[in-house]
Amino acid sequence: MAEVKKPTYSEDSIQVLQGLEAVRKRPGMYIGSTDSKGLHHLIWEIVDNSIDEVLAGEANQIRVIIHKGNTVEVMDNGRGIPIGMHKTGVPTPQVVYCSLHAGGKFDENGAYKVSGGLHGVGSSVVNALSEWLEVEINRDKKVYIQKYSDGGKKICKPSISPSNSKKTGTTVRFKPDPSIFSTTIIDYKQCVTRFKEAAFLIKGLRIDLIDERTGQSDSFCYQEGIAEYIRSLNEGKVGINEPVIFEGSNQGISVEVAFQYTKETYNETLYSFVNNIRTHDGGTHETGFKVAFTKAFNEYARKKNLIKDKDPNLEGVDIREGMTAILSVRIPEGLLQFEGQTKNKLGSPEAKSAVEAVVT
Q: Which DSSP string do the residues of 334-352 spell out, in sequence order?
A: GG--BSSTT--SB--HHHH
* % of the chain beyond a pLDDT of 70: 88
Last residue within a domain, chosen from 220, 237, 271: 220
The answer to the question of residue 326 being in a domain is yes
To the nearest whole number, what is the mean pLDDT of the chain? 89
How far apart are the C-alpha atoms of 171 and 47, rounded to whole Å? 10
Is residue 15 assigned to a domain?
Answer: no
In angstroms, the Cα distances linking 60 to 19, 54, 55, 75, 338 are 33, 6, 9, 11, 27
Domain of 263, CATH number, reads 3.30.230.10
**153: domain range?**
21-220
Whether residues 146 and 106 fall in one domain: yes
Question: 65 or 113, which is more confident?
Answer: 65
Same structural domain, 299 and 199: no
Domain-located, residue 9: no
Residues 60 and 160 sit within 8 Å (Cβ to Cβ): no
Cβ(261)–Cβ(243) under 8 Å?
no
CATH number of residue 133's parent domain? 3.30.565.10
Residue 152 reports pLDDT greater than 70: yes
CA angle 188, 125, 137 (to 5 degrees): 80
Least confident stretch, 19-33, 294-308, 334-348: 334-348
pLDDT band at 284 (very low <50, low <70, confident <90, very high): very high
User: Residue 341 has what pLDDT?
Assistant: 60
- Same domain for 70 and 133, yes or no, is yes
Residue 243 covered by a domain: yes
Question: Could you report the per-residue pLDDT of 181-233, keeping only the tens digit for each?
Answer: 999 999 999 999 999 999 999 999 999 999 999 999 999 999 999 999 999 99
Q: State how far the Cα of 155 lies from the Cα of 134, in Å rounded to an integer.
A: 10
Condensed to tens digits (0 to 9), the pLDDT of residues 318-331 reads 999 999 999 999 99
Q: Is residue 246 classed exposed, middle or buried when 0-12, 13-18 and 19+ CB atoms within 10 A define those classes?
A: exposed
> Strand pairing of 206-211 and 142-149?
unpaired
Is the pLDDT assigned to residue 128 strictly greater than 80?
yes
Looking at per-residue pLDDT, the higher value among 148 and 264 belongs to: 148
> 287 lies in a domain?
yes
The per-residue pLDDT for range 25-57, each reduced to its tens digit, is 999 988 989 999 999 999 999 999 999 899 889
Model confidence, pTM: 0.85
Give the separation between CA 327 and CA 256, rounded to whole angstroms.
Answer: 6
Q: Give the chain's end-to-end CA distance (angstroms, integer).
A: 74
- Verify that 107 and 179 share a domain, yes or no: yes
Give the separation between CA 262 and CA 325, rounded to whole angstroms: 11
Nearest to 196 by CA among 222, 172, 224: 222
192 sits in the region (left: phi over 0; alpha: psi -120 to 50; else beta) called: alpha
Given 220, 243, 277, which residue is the final one in a domain?
A: 220
pLDDT score for 119: 42
Sorting pLDDT into bands at 50, 70 and 90, what band is 11?
very low
Looking at the domain assignment, is residue 265 inside a domain?
A: yes
Strand pairing of 253-261 and 72-76?
Answer: unpaired
Which pLDDT does position 103 carry in this prediction? 58
Report the distance separating Cα 38 and Cα 27, nearest Å. 9
Identify whether residues 205 and 337 lie together within a single domain. no
Choose the final residue of a domain: 203, 220, 237: 220
Q: Does residue 7 belong to any structural domain of this protein?
A: no
Q: How many domains does the chain have?
A: 2
Residues 175 and 207 both lie in one domain: yes
Residue among 346, 354, 114 nearest 253 (CA): 354
Q: Rounded to an integer, what distance in angstroms lies between the CA atom of residue 137 and that of residue 141?
A: 10
Give every CB contact of residue 159 below 8 A, 6+ residues apart in sequence: 143, 144, 145, 146
- Whether residue 306 sits in one domain with residue 192: no
- For residue 10, tell me if it sits in a domain: no
pLDDT above 90 covers a percentage of the chain that reads 76
Q: Which amino acid is at 328?
A: S
- pLDDT value of residue 7: 52
Domain co-membership, 205 together with 70: yes
pLDDT of residue 67: 98
Are residues 153 and 120 part of one domain? yes
Shared domain for 129 and 269, answered yes or no, is no
- For residues 118 and 158, state if they share a domain: yes
C-alpha to C-alpha distance for 103 and 120, rounded to whole angstroms: 5
| CB burial of residue 14 (10 Å; 0-12, 13-18, 19+) | exposed
Residues 181 and 310 in one domain: no
